[in-house]
Amino acid sequence: MSGTTQKYRNFVAEPMGEKSVTELAGIGETLGGRLTEAGFDKAYTVLGQYLVLKKDQELFKDWMKDVCHASSKQASDCYNCLNDWCEEFM
């Protein structure tokens, strides 16, 4: 996991539970607010969208850009966080 943030490591280290959307890697207060306004207030709701998009990286990144105006890096960080969490817990 070299090159990952502490936020990423914290997220993928344990079950998701009721974590806020802002606990996902790449999602700060601004993007978190936009996601919450769109109905994605918990990390598990974003995970649901990731799964609906069949774990497809490009579709998920495009969705992130459309819904909360995430940059490519922010969308990639969030995708990698969810992808690695799924590998660990699903």
State the total domains in the chain: 1
CA 49 → CA 2, 8, 33, 40, 55, distances in Å?
27, 19, 17, 9, 9
- What angle, 0 to 180 degrees and rounded to 10, lies between the N-to-C axes of helices 43-52 and 72-89? 90
The CATH number assigned to the domain holding 59 equals 1.10.150.40
Model confidence over 7-33: pLDDT tens digits?
999 999 999 999 999 999 999 999 999
User: What does the pLDDT read at residue 68?
Assistant: 97
pLDDT at 1 over 90: no
Q: Residues 6 or more apart from 34 whose CB is under 8 A from it? A: 67, 68, 69
Mean pLDDT, residues 39-53 = 98
Provide the domain limits for residue 20: 4-87
Phi, psi for residue 48 in degrees, rounded to 5: -60, -45
Share above pLDDT 70 across residues of the chain, in percent, rounded to a whole number: 97
DSSP 21: G
- Which tokens is 70 given? 């995430």
Banded pLDDT at 3 (limits 50, 70, 90): low
